[in-house]
């Protein structure tokens, strides 16, 4: 059984300077209570790995506004003008990674692969400084795994041993990120007895989850 912890305790487990994997797509399926707690704690120098930086006042956008992020590894920043402004001013480093490549790099870390091969980016600025592998006359970029110090995962339900069930599009990056970090903190909407979640609905087994957040008051 896992002891559920307060959100403030969970935020204290994310040290300044950490690489943090955060699930979600424009805030959908993101761990909003954890994000708010990191802002309240005054977190600094984080490297955030996520699909995007959402928008000002929404999800990861709150961390951008608060100055908590030193580097963002994301697939796009088009809907967050604050991210764009901080990138152009040099306040924030942004590494743009094609969405499919990003999730595969995270998955590679989770399953122990040394990297992934992709043709995406060949012949563009993306290939600069990267290793190119030729197979059967075709050129591929070798993209390296992305491992997190901490993964912050949002889930619909967790049971008492930490098995997680996701809802609809909140699946996005969450199950993959739960495999690719040293410490996994899950923010479930509900915590239910073992057996309530159908085994077929478990997408992240409890063995991968280190901490559960208490339910919101």
CATH, residue 167? 3.40.1080.10
How many separate domains does the chain show? 1
Task: Report the pLDDT value the prediction gives residue 161, as an integer from 0 to 100.
Answer: 96
Check residue 114 and report its DSSP letter: S
Task: Report the pLDDT value the prediction gives residue 70, as an integer from 0 to 100.
Answer: 98
Q: What is the pLDDT of residues 5-36, one digit of tens each?
A: 999 999 999 999 999 999 999 999 999 999 99
In Å, how far are 34, 54, 58, 198 from 30, measured between CA atoms?
9, 10, 10, 23
pLDDT surpassing 80 at residue 216: no
What share of the chain has pLDDT > 90, as a percent? 92
Q: What is the pLDDT of residues 45-79, one digit of tens each?
A: 999 999 999 999 999 999 999 999 999 999 999 99
pLDDT surpassing 80 at residue 109: yes
H or E stretch at 213: strand 211-213
Strands 211-213 and 181-192: parallel
Q: Model's pTM, two decimal places?
A: 0.95
Task: Report the pLDDT value the prediction gives residue 217, as an integer from 0 to 100.
Answer: 66
Q: Determine whether 8 is exposed, middle or buried from the number of CB atoms within 10 Å of its CB (0-12, 13-18, 19+).
A: exposed
Structural domain for 137, as ranges: 4-213
Is residue 152 within 8 Å of residue 121, measured between CB atoms? no
């Amino acid at each position: 059984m896992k002891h559920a912890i307060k959100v403030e305790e969970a935020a204290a487990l994310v040290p300044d300077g950490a690489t943090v994997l955060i699930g979600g797509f424009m805030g959908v399926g993101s761990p909003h209570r954890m994000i708010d707690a990191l802002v309240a704690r005054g977190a600094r120098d984080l490297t955030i790995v996520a699909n995007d930086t959402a928008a000002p006042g929404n999800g990861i956008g709150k961390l951008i506004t608060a100055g908590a992020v030193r580097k963002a590894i994301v697939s796009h920043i088009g809907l967050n003008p604050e991210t764009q402004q901080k990138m152009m001013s040099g306040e924030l480093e942004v590494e743009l990674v094609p969405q499919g490549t990003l999730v595969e790099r995270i998955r590679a870390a989770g399953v122990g692969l040394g990297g992934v091969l992709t043709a995406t980016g060949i012949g563009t600025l993306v290939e600069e400084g990267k290793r190119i592998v030729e197979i059967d006359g075709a050129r591929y970029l070798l993209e390296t795994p992305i491992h997190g110090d901490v993964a912050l995962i949002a889930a619909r339900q967790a049971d008492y041993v930490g098995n997680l069930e996701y809802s609809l599009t909140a699946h996005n990056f969450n199950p993959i990120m739960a495999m690719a970090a040293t410490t996994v903190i899950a923010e479930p909407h509900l915590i239910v007895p073992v057996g309530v979640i159908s085994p077929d609905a478990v997408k992240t087994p409890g063995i991968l989850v280190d901490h559960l957040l208490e339910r919101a008051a």
